[in-house]
Structure 1
Amino acid sequence: MDDLEKRLLHVVDSVLGPNGRMVRGRSGDGEKRTYRYNSKQHEFAKVAARGFCRYDEAEKAAAVNMLQGATGTGKTLGYLVPAFAYAALTGERVIVSTFTKALQQQIINNDAPRAQRWVNDELGVIVRYARRVGRSNYLSLSSCLNLKSMLDSKDDDDVKAFVNDLTEWLKRDHHTLPTVEDYLSEVGNGCQLPAGLDAKSLCLCADSPTEEIEAYELALEESHNADVLIVNHALVMLDASRWTKILNPSRPASILICDEADRMTDAAESVLGADVSMHRFNGLTQSVADAFNLPDITGCVGNLYSAVQSIDPGTAKMAALNENIAKRIDGVLSALEPHVAKFAGMLSSPQGELEDHSKALLADFCDSYNDLANVQKASRSKGNTSIISWSPVRHFPSLRVGHPEPARIITRMLAPMQWDGEDNEDVMPPRSYLRAALFTSATLATPGRSLPIAFDAFADSIGVVRHCKRGMTRPIHNVTADLYRIFDAPPDFGEMFFVLPAPNAPLPTGLAAEDEDYATASNPAWLDYAAAMVREAAAGDGKTLVLTLSHADTQAIGERLKDLDGLIVAKPGDNMSMLKQQYQSRDNAVMITPGGWEGLDLPGEVQNLVITRLPFGSINSFRLSLKEAVLRHRGYSDDKIQSIKFAELNADARRRLVQGLGRGIRQRSDRVEVWIGDPRFPYPASFATALDDVLMIRRPRVLKAFSGCIPERFEDSFNASRIFLTDGSLHTAELV
């Protein structure tokens, strides 16, 4: 153990230990003692601190650490305290990245100030921290005033009141340039963005006044000077794709902490992907040609569209983008470029006399041109795959570019230089500048698997390899698998009880195999059973949250329960914040939604949680279809491809189920009864030796791996599960 590790662990013990500064508070400052000692948090922080010190000097390779912490672990302060201590002791920079704005706001407003104060008290060093977000996230007074002047009597009163209040708030003095989240957080009391109001209409843009742009640049400079920088995953992925030129290249970070790390692939897709609907682009081109008398522009786009349509997609509804199509894209871009440049000038000219519908048409056309240029650019980037996909109903083709594992770009920050021999260091900078990276979330591991294998699926998604390459004696990446840990919440953090499906309950799709879920509409008999389960759950005390997989299931179950008091049925396009507010305001609320599996925080508000079915995704999703195209190109057999896709579906479904179960316990005092309506979910081991007549009924399909999704601290209550029979009654099994 080196000196830095000893000093870091000393700070962690002094702050988060049994008699640390966190639980003692500070005498004489009036602070209330709101924290209690959390042994799980303390251990989490110590493991994180050790991981920060595992840099491989010989290989110049960052240490890669993975820690899972359930809700109640206290992982945010668990990594912030050693992060602030590391910055204080070394003078080096730490980046903390999140996926959601809510967690970023929590860190900025609550956790970072506390970690800063405790570390300062311990070491006498003030560690500066700041947030870094894109320009379009910052509020603009001029944009709000413009929007306010455009609102008329036909507009929603809630929108007008919100914009008016926000405008008055922005006229006050603010220490730093605020964001929408800053306003919502400060106003509090459930304040939220009204439905139908686009946050972008309130924020900075390229045309904002000089003084507002200067204020943004000051905020950017503050982030450059920060010792601990709070960012989002999209910025981290963009930074990696630009060879670390985004997040202040003059002072590269030594430590990267990615919370909500299970969402890194989603962030990477949003940054690195590209998608163009050829049907829409062809229609837009024809409309522009007619409106501006430019018949020559339709030929090249029409020829590209015809060439794409002539390709036989086969049963996969997906094909590789061949050289002929790539050349035609080049021709389209060359032919349209002068016209797009002219249209862009017309749109930005203050003397323009375009009517509103013409402005909208040209703006859409220019956007589509830029999308096609992005497809062309991305298709030429190393590691990307260009494909043509067809919509499932009308079979319209789209040009799409992506990567089957887009989050793997993060290895540019982690890998030993030239470990794969593919980069030319004459033109590319060294890839590995981090000393350590910590990836953490509540659902990082694949449930039911032992360590370190449990983290392999996630590690593969970000391109981290903990095995040795042929002929090597060291793992490809500097993984600290001995520090891989899974932290459950403290034993007294909430109570969870279970009601399981009857052994003869209908299957959700009428089929026995989970891999065919995507192909068939929900079984009406199962919808009846699921609705009866929800009705029985709602008959008990408290509120009920019902998680579905689709809006079709949501509406079908809601229709069967339309006489139920307090019913809230989510519809496509509904704002989750509005639904949450309705749920919180009703004493007997029953909310049915497909959007609540993760990110929905309702402490003390969920007494009954109904999991209608196991959360399998679609085997035809873009991500899996892209992977299939890549594997097929590499020569994999159909059987092997299907096996790989189903394994990913299964692992993702287990992680999502854990996320769904987490909606029931958000604070220490929560008590929830979990109802599971999918008969493929396994029974507890205690049922295997029972002589109960109900348990003697043969179950057509059981997916045993899902039993690993139940938190260990609830094993006793899971063994005492009740069963919801098909006649609507509850049965307590007789166990031996």
Structure 2
Amino acid sequence: MNYVVFDIETTGLDPSNHEIIEVGAVRIRDGAIADTFHHLVRPRQSIPEEISRLTGIDDGMVADAESADEILPKLLQFIGDDTLVAHNLSFDAPFLQHKLDDLGYTLLRPDGLCTLVLARALFPTLSGHRLENVAEHLGIVPETAHRALADAMTTAKVFLAITERASSLPLMLVQQLAQLSGLFSPRTGDWFTDLSLQVMSTRADAIPDDCEVREGMLYTSVKPREEGAKPGERVVGDIQEQALQMLAAGGPLSESLPGYEPREGQLQMVAKVSEALTADKHAVIEAGTGTGKSMAYLIPAALHALASDERVVVSTHTLALQDQIEQRDFPTLVKLFGGQISLAVQKGRKNYVCLRKVRAEAGVMSFSSHADEIQGMMGLLVWLTQTAEGVREELSSHAVSHALWSRVQSETDTCINKRCPFFRPCYYFRAKARAQTAEIVVTNHSLLLSDLKADHRVLPKYEALVIDEAHHLEDQATKHLGDEVHAAQLAALSYRLSRDRGKNGIIPELKSRFETSQSMPLSMEDKLTRAQEWIEDVSRSADTAFALLGGLLPAGKNELRLTDDLWRHPNFIQFSEQMSELRAPIHALRELVKGLQEWAKKAMSDDDAGRIIDAAGFLDQWLQGVELLEEMTVPSDSRVTWIERRGYGRPRYSVHTAPIDVSSTLRTLLFEPLASTVLTSATLSVRGRFDFTINQLGLGESLAEKRLITGNVPSPFDYQSQARLFVPNDVPELAKMTADEAATWLCDSLYHLAVASSGRVLALFTSHQMLRETAKLLRGPLAAKNLSVFAQDVDGGRTAMLEAFRNNPNSILLGAQSFWEGIDLPGDQLTTLVIIRLPFAPPSHPVTEARHERLTKSGQSPFWVASLPEAVVRFRQGFGRLIRTKQDKGVVVVYDKRIITAKYGATFIQSLAGIRPHVAPEQEVLRQVRSFLSQSATS
């Protein structure tokens, strides 16, 4: 094929109302760039200011250019009958065709190749697939962005590199990609087919050494399991002494890590962790930023595991910390122990891909399948030849959608275990096998709590536990020890089971597959036929039940706690009656699940067994959700239940339940059975005391029994010289202003701060609405100063915004809840941190409301006992974003005067590491910020 790679710049996204202002094209012949085409285009209307800022094209530049009527026929002639290529062809080609239609022309071959689609399929683990992301991944230096010829040239280079990469894939995989892509784009299918012919002519269809093939599936092979250390082989004597020796100056760690220097705080923490593990005690240890706490608990944990032959589990809240332990800390640990320590990472089962389901889903893809799902399947097949772990987190959500993943994820309910042809190479069972033999297992709080809920059937047996990021434990326990049912999820499962009046779906497809087979039990055909009616009836009634519950929500309110008066509301009584009518069909469908499970055991082939157990599993999941809906709405003194509404127009309802108090559950199920638990975080204390954490997590009895160690390990950073805390005392009370009014004031103040620090500003909000309004007003004024604004969930998600902020220092990042912690911006990536309001949680949330009521009844103050300590911990997390290394310097500006005027404000200040606020009018604060940052830049 010959190709023409093209790009257009437009005045907007709507071809009916917007115009083309530039076209660029590059011809590729025989694998090389042969010719180019470029013209500015004079639009009928003025170019919008934001388009001029983006592209650099203004009205003056196009004043003497030819119009689209003159340029587009020339472009059409340049393209001829060559194959079109573009990055995001689904936008560029229809936009171009719309303009050609106006002139009476048409593209000869509108179907072409999209490098965005190809990149998502061939590089499914890239965090972003914008042209610049793909170019960087391929080692291509992009031309100037947002100019037509430059982008077309970059796309051409990307296309040639993608062609080379695709040619290196195994022949079997290229053929599968050709078959799938042909379902949504014949031209793309032909391209892959041509590649497969080239591969056949140049090399044999050899399976890569690190892959294997089974049942037509190509995937990474199972690595031989490495043996861990033998009991007692490595460690004898005092664990604390040995751990301290490893970390001492001139010790083994300094030999493994060039530039390593012992840190007093880290040594203090090692001593406390060692004491807890060897003395069978629990520990609550706050370790400030920069302490090196992960190695401070990993080394004693490894020594303890080898000495006692007892596994140690490490639980984190974030995947980032989990990855840090696995990829950065553990290799160092292996060196320290001469390879005699093993670590495994275990995640929730639904995080792992099921090879059998991938094969089944790929097999049913057809011309009627959605293009996004076919492209996602292509990405999955490529990824399976590369992934060692088979976990969802490796994949870009743009490459593989949540909907597709939910159909290929590993699940207990749909697993046929040893009957599965992929049982041996199953990624989930690979991870589980590694965990069973590892001395240290790294998991997350979610799976840790799921293990408690499942009576310890999820994680391998352990006696010692380290909980990092422990300030999240109560929230995670509240979430995972509760339940929730979403109307949309039930509807989606119902749709998968049976739709189009029983013509399509898992149940009718199963019936159709086996209706001419002798292997179907005699009564099963009739049951499957009737099941389609039952599913429809139950689904319709469940929708009505959710609507009745949703009707309880007052206008303008998105959450409603079910209290005594609401249990007696006519809507709730009608809901209960609606649910009682479902018992007969639910019972019949439950019997069908049992029948399917029995039938699967006797199926003639493993593939048949898999199809039958899939149907049983999905039906069981759906029934569990419907049954849970009724169970959750039974009144309880120990739990809080609430209804949520999300979305507009057609609202989506869900019902949630959670324990009011998790401390007793954690004490009974987690702390009492274990010999030792170490809880650590950078923020566990309030005013240097651990009372809040101890009470919150149920460690009071351990303290009374003298089985609890506490410790506050200071950060090695010199905050007094590295940071300044400023509070403008003439700030208006933002809480008393509308979002628009607050945004107007914030825009002016943040503008001056951003200019004063030349960008590198992170502003932390507690209100998404205020964030959006501020971003809208701030973008234009800062653009005039060549400063960019990146706003969370306005310009992109958390990961994309962080990446953009890191790559563009002349910018300000506006973030909400998820930016208050877990982000690392060392050096001069961040010099100014702004805290808009003190982070008090809304007291109206049903769980918070129920807990506050319980505290009030016991004679305690909900504010002083719960709200304030929670806000202080959150505030300290936000403050901790600023100083990440000993070299960092920067300022924190708090726009909430309550920190200096309210009685409780001192609690926030006293919980910081020796920092005292500089209080002054806003203009004086700006002057001092400039002074401090300029001194820091020259020092």
Tell whether the structures are fold-level matches, with TM greater than 0.5: yes
What is residue 674 of structure 2 aligned with on the other side? 434
Relative to structure 1, the CA distance from residue 332 to residue 278 in structure 2 (aligned partners, 3 Å threshold; closer, same or farther) is farther
Q: Contact between 2:313 and 2:442, CA under 8 Å: does it hold in 1?
A: yes
Judge conservation of contact 2:377–2:400 (CA < 8 Å) in 1: no
Using the alignment, how far apart are the partners of 2:844 and 2:351 within structure 1?
Answer: 33
CA distance in 2, matches of 1:221, 1:494: 49
Structure 1 residues 134 and 317, CA, compared in 2 at 3 Å: closer, same or farther? Answer: closer
Q: In 2, distance between residues paired with 1:561 and 1:329? A: 51
For residues 113-137 of structure 1, give each alpha carbon's deviation from its aligned partner in whole angstroms, at most 9, with x where no partner exists: 322331x25xxx8232212223322
Give how far 1:79 is off.
0.2
- Alignment of 1:106 with 2:337, yes or no, is no
Distance in structure 1 (CA, Å) of the matches to 2:335 and 2:354: 32
The reply on whether 1:484 has 2:484 as its aligned counterpart is no
| Partners of 1:497 and 1:674 within 8 A in 2 | yes
Could you tell me how far 1:490 is from its partner in structure 2?
Answer: 0.5
Letter in 2 for 1:43: Q
Question: How many Å apart are 1:333 and its aligned residue?
Answer: 5.2
Please name the residue that 2:458 is paired with.
Answer: 246
Which residue of 216, 221, 235 corresponds with 2:447?
A: 235
1:591 alignment partner in structure 2: 813
Deviation at 1:504, TM superposition (A): 2.8
Return closer, same or farther for 1:503/1:154 CA change in 2, 3 Å cut-off. farther
Q: Deviations over 1:552-602 (max 9, x none)?
A: 011111122122121112226942111111112213021112131111222
Query: Given the superposition, is the C-alpha separation of residues 213 and 677 from structure 1 closer, same or farther in structure 2, using an over 3 Å criterion?
Result: farther
Higher mean Cα deviation, 43-52 or 724-733?
A: 724-733
Aligned ranges 1:307-706 → 2 under 5 Å = 317-320=561-564, 331-332=580-581, 334-338=583-587, 340-341=589-590, 369-374=623-628, 384-389=638-643, 399-406=655-662, 408-414=664-670, 432-446=672-686, 449-450=687-688, 454-466=689-701, 478-480=706-708, 483-492=709-718, 496-498=722-724, 500-510=726-736, 522=738, 524-539=740-755, 540-563=757-780, 564=782, 565-571=787-793, 574-594=796-816, 595-604=818-827, 605-628=829-852, 636=857, 643-644=861-862, 647-682=865-900, 703-706=905-908
User: 1:141-160 maps to which residues of 2 (within 5 A)?
Assistant: none
How far, CA to CA, are the matches of 1:589 and 1:152 in structure 2? Answer: 45
Q: 1:81 Cα shift?
A: 0.2
User: CA 1:43–1:275 in 2, change beyond 3 Å: closer, same or farther?
Assistant: same
The unaligned stretches of length 5 or more in structure 2 are 1-234, 502-531, 601-615, 932-939
**Is the CA contact 1:319–1:629 (under 8 Å) kept in the aligned structure 2?**
no
Task: Say how many residue pairs are matched.
Answer: 622
Q: In the superposition, relative to structure 1, how do residues 572 and 731 fare at CA in structure 2: closer, same or farther (>3 Å)?
A: closer
**2:238 aligns to what SS in structure 1?**
helix
Q: 1:155 to 1:553 in 2, by over 3 A?
A: farther
Deviation at 1:193, TM superposition (A): 4.6
CA contact (8 A) 1:100 1:232 kept: yes
- Name the CA distance, whole Å, in 2 between partners of 1:76 and 1:599: 15
2:483–2:658 CA contact under 8 A, matched in 1? yes
Is 1:271 the equivalent of 2:497? no
After TM superposition, the structure 1 stretch with the greater mean CA deviation from structure 2, 91-100 or 384-393, is 384-393
The alpha carbon displacement at 1:169 in A equals 4.9
2 CA distance for matches of 1:161 and 1:391? 32
User: Which letter does structure 1 place at the counterpart of 2:696?
Assistant: S
Instruction: Give 1:724's aligned residue.
Output: 922
Residue 464 (structure 2) pairs with residue 255 (structure 1): yes
> Residue 60 of structure 1 aligns with which residue?
none
> In structure 1, what is the equivalent of residue 77 of structure 2?
none
State the shift of 1:366 in Å.
7.9
Trace 1:210-225 onto structure 2 (pairs within 5 A): 210-215=420-425, 216-225=428-437
Contact 1:570–1:592 (CA<8 Å) still a contact in 2?
Answer: yes
Matched, 1:38 2:263: yes
**368, 393, 398: which one aligns with 1:194:** 398
Which secondary structure state, in structure 2, belongs to the residue aligned with residue 231 of structure 1? strand
1:356 corresponding residue in structure 2:
none
For residues 805 and 371 of structure 2, the distance between their equivalents in structure 1, rounded to whole angstroms, comes to 22
Q: 1:233 to 1:544 in 2, by over 3 A?
A: same
Closer, same or farther: CA 69–283 of 1 in aligned 2, 3 Å: closer
More moved, 549-558 vs 291-300: 291-300
1:184-205 CA distances to partner (integer Å, 9 max, x unpaired)?
A: 7xxxxxxx55387335566445
Structure 1: any 5+ residue segments left out of the alignment? 26-31, 56-62, 185-191, 351-361, 416-431, 468-474, 511-520, 683-698
Amino acid aligned to 2:318 = T
Find the residue that maps to 1:458 and give its secondary structure: helix
The aligned counterpart of 2:145 is none
Higher-Rg structure is 2
Residues of 2 paired with 1:338 and 1:275: CA distance?
A: 22
The answer on whether the counterparts of 2:561 and 2:641 sit within 8 Å (CA) in structure 1 is no
Q: Please give the secondary structure, in 2, of the residue aligned with 1:561.
A: helix
Relative to 1, partners in 2 of residues 1:284 and 1:47: Cα closer, same or farther, differing over 3 Å?
A: closer
Please tell me the root mean square deviation across aligned C-alpha atoms, in Å.
4.8
Alignment deviations for residues 435-458 of structure 1 (CA, whole Å, 9 cap, x no partner) = 111011111222xx24xxx22222
Q: Against the structure 1 CA distance between its residues 39 and 282, is the aligned structure 2 distance closer, same or farther, given a 3 Å change threshold?
A: closer
Matched, 1:52 2:277: yes
Kindly indicate whether the alpha-carbon contact (under 8 Å) linking 1:543 and 1:607 is maintained by their aligned counterparts in 2.
yes
In structure 2, the CA distance between the partners of 1:88 and 1:293, relative to structure 1 (3 Å rule), is closer
8 Å contact kept, 2:640–2:660: no
1:707 is aligned to 2:935 = no
Paired with 2:367 and 2:725, the residues of 1 have a C-alpha distance of 52
Q: Within 5 A, what are the aligned runs for 1:1-20?
A: 7-20=238-251
Asked if 1 retains the 8 angstrom alpha-carbon contact of 2:322 and 2:442, the reply is yes
Q: Using the alignment, how far apart are the partners of 1:97 and 1:597 within structure 2?
A: 21
3-state SS, counterpart of residue 83 of structure 1: helix
Q: Compared with structure 1, are the counterparts of its residues 80 and 167 closer, same or farther at alpha carbon in structure 2 (3 Å cutoff)?
A: same
Equivalent-residue separation in structure 1 for 2:549 and 2:776 (angstroms):
46
The aligned counterpart of 2:73 is: none
Q: Distance in 2 between matches of 1:272 and 1:39?
A: 38
Alpha-carbon spacing, 1:705–1:336, altered in 2? closer, same or farther (3 Å):
farther
Q: Verify the 8 A CA contact 1:64 1:437 in the aligned structure 2.
A: yes
Deviation of 1:239 after TM superposition, in Å, equals 2.1
Contact 1:388-1:397 at 8 Å conserved across structures: no
8 Å contact 1:567–1:589 — kept in the other structure?
A: yes
- CA-to-aligned-CA distance 1:28-74 (integer Å, 9 cap, x gap): xxxx614222221111111110111233xxxxxxx221001122010
Pair 13,373 (structure 1): closer, same or farther in 2 beyond 3 Å: same
Q: Relative to structure 1, is the Cα distance of residues 701 and 69 closer, same or farther in structure 2, using a 3 angstrom cutoff?
A: closer
Distance 2:375 2:652 in 1: 42
